[in-house]
Amino acid sequence: MFQAVPAEGPLDLFIQEHQMDYRRMTKEELKDEKKRLEKQYRDYQALGLKLDISRGKPCREQLDLSMGMLDVLDSDMEYLSENGLDTRNYGALTGLPETKRLMAHVMETQPENVIIFCDSSLNIMFDLVSKSWSHGVMGHTPWYRLPEVKFLCPVPGYDRHFAITEYFGIQMVNIPMKEDGPDMDLVRQYVENDESVKGIWCVPKYSNPTGTVYSDETVERFARLKPAAPDFRIYWDNAYNVHHLDFEHIRVIPELLELCRENGHPDMVYKFGSFSKISFSGSSIAALATSEENIADVVKTMGIQTIGHNKINQLLHTRFFKNAEGVMEHMKKHAAILKPKFDLVQKSLEEGLGGQSLATWSKPEGGYFVSFNTMPGCAKRVVALVKGAGVVMTGAGATYPYGKDEEDSNIRIAPTFASLSELEKALEIFCVCVKLASVEKFLNEG
């Protein structure tokens, strides 16, 4: 049973001891609590802070890990790839053989299934959707000529995926994300019965933002899909495949390209990989891994777009990382920087909000985000409140297509960029704002 709050005194201690339950408070008690939280909030505002936990950017220490890459080449060296190609010149449209081998390891596939692009996997995704829209997939009707084109969007998901499909006017259909991946009954129902469904956005490991790792069964069910549309493709964005937080317990999922082949649909998946969060974000290498037929289809367009991608950067990456083991050793160093930040998020949320049934949040084992759910109707208010106290977070609703979270509940926390002390402060403020928004909700609902 809730006990009366002392008018003055060590309230934080009181709360810790008595775990306030807003649901059982009287209106007067809630009003007192609101006053107390507002006072705390004003104190934070007075600090004039400027903190940012909005985007999944690596921090400086993480970027420093790759500085050695800039020393693997100098002007006295030969810039030849292993097949003797002068990387300073045109050629090797689909990438250097050694870079394809390195990327194939990271993407758990074969070098012949890989095309190396420039520095952004998102760019590859955009180009694929754009080409499908204007010219069609493998000789099928260009999407712009169809009365309706749909993409399935597991939610909450990655805002920049949704931005691409929204840009082309593709209708986005929400698919609830479960513990083991998207709701596959619903995915199957849409994909197998609706010819206008041309794609699905997936981040299969350490998903953005939920941290979900698709179960073996989920991946196998993807491979067994029998799409109504022959040009349906799974956009398998495995951006966080090697981004484990705990290398003692790394997660492995089945490899979808091979599974699709075994199930008689070799062309059903486009896999994406990127070194953006391995080396330098936005200045690394990215890749597509897919079937031979899809590669031939993509190369036709690519050969018109470019004479070749940046091979000097491919050489830098290959000489620096060398092989799969090199990447893994490097990722352990990332984890050493990131794990304390993710642990701090859990500790801060648990201390600030634990046991109060005001929110739930994910406990990811890798990737870049923590997904946080307020009580329905509070997310926008929380993000506005934290902003008012100098903390920038991803806009509420951003994790849903069209920015519309019907529940107004999901908030993405991106803990990587801030320092530990900044993060601690930001989360302290965040917890107070969640409580304040919750108290307001209880009071408004009478």
Residue type for position 279: S
Residue type for position 78: E
Q: What are phi and psi of 182, to 5 degrees?
A: -65, 155
**Kind plus residue range of the DSSP H or E element containing 351:** helix 324-353
**Which residue number, 20 or 115, has a Cβ lying nearer to ligand PMP?**
115
Q: Taking contact as CB under 6 A, which single stretch among the options 127-135, 281-289, 307-315, 384-392 is the one that binds ligand PMP?
A: 281-289
**Which residue number, 101 or 160, has a Cβ lying nearer to ligand PMP?**
160
Least Å distance, CB 107 to ligand PMP, is 13
3-state secondary structure of 178: strand
Query: Does 133 participate in binding ligand PMP (rule CB under 6 A)?
Result: no
How many chain residues bind ligand PMP (CB under 6 A)?
14
Q: Do residues 273 and 286 make contact, with C-beta atoms less than 8 angstroms apart?
A: yes
The residue written with tokens 């060398």 in the block is 322
Query: Does 121 participate in binding ligand PMP (rule CB under 6 A)?
Result: yes
Q: Taking contact as CB under 6 A, which single stretch among the options 142-150, 169-177, 225-233, 276-284 is the one that binds ligand PMP?
A: 276-284
Query: Does 286 participate in binding ligand PMP (rule CB under 6 A)?
Result: yes
Q: Which of 413, 427, 411 is nearest to 344 (CA)?
A: 427
**Which residue number, 274 or 314, has a Cβ lying nearer to ligand PMP?**
274
Query: Does 59 participate in binding ligand PMP (rule CB under 6 A)?
Result: no
Query: Does 416 participate in binding ligand PMP (rule CB under 6 A)?
Result: no
Query: Does 415 participate in binding ligand PMP (rule CB under 6 A)?
Result: no
Query: Does 159 participate in binding ligand PMP (rule CB under 6 A)?
Result: no
Contact string 217-246 vs ligand PMP (x = CB under 6 A): --------------------x-x-------
Q: Taking contact as CB under 6 A, which single stretch among the options 166-174, 274-282, 300-308, 377-385 is the one that binds ligand PMP?
A: 274-282
Query: Does 155 participate in binding ligand PMP (rule CB under 6 A)?
Result: no
Q: Do residues 200 and 187 make contact, with C-beta atoms less than 8 angstroms apart?
A: yes
Taking the C-alpha atoms of residue 104 and residue 153, their distance in angstroms, rounded to an integer, is 27
In degrees, to the nearest 5, what angle opens at C-alpha 279 toward C-alphas 274 and 282? 60
Least Å distance, CB 121 to ligand PMP, is 3
Query: Does 107 participate in binding ligand PMP (rule CB under 6 A)?
Result: no
Q: Which of 279, 277, 276, 273 is nearest to 320 (CA)?
A: 279
Taking the C-alpha atoms of residue 299 and residue 295, their distance in angstroms, rounded to an integer, is 6
Query: Does 208 participate in binding ligand PMP (rule CB under 6 A)?
Result: yes
Residue type for position 10: P
Contact residue for ligand PMP among 122, 184, 256, 437 (CB under 6 A): 122
Number of continuous H segments (helices) and E segments (strands) in the chain: 14, 13
Query: Does 56 participate in binding ligand PMP (rule CB under 6 A)?
Result: yes
3-state secondary structure of 299: helix
Q: What are phi and psi of 309, to 5 degrees?
A: -90, -175
Q: Do residues 82 and 102 make contact, with C-beta atoms less than 8 angstroms apart?
A: no
Query: Does 203 participate in binding ligand PMP (rule CB under 6 A)?
Result: yes
Looking at residues 355 to 384 of the shown chain, list those that interact with ligand PMP (rule: CB under 6 A).
Answer: none
**Which residue number, 36 or 233, has a Cβ lying nearer to ligand PMP?**
233
Interacting residues of 46 by C-beta distance below 8 A, sequence separation 6+? none
Least Å distance, CB 28 to ligand PMP, is 46
Tokens of 57: 């950017």
Binding site for ligand PMP (CB under 6 A): 56, 120-122, 158, 203, 208, 237, 239, 274, 276, 281-282, 286
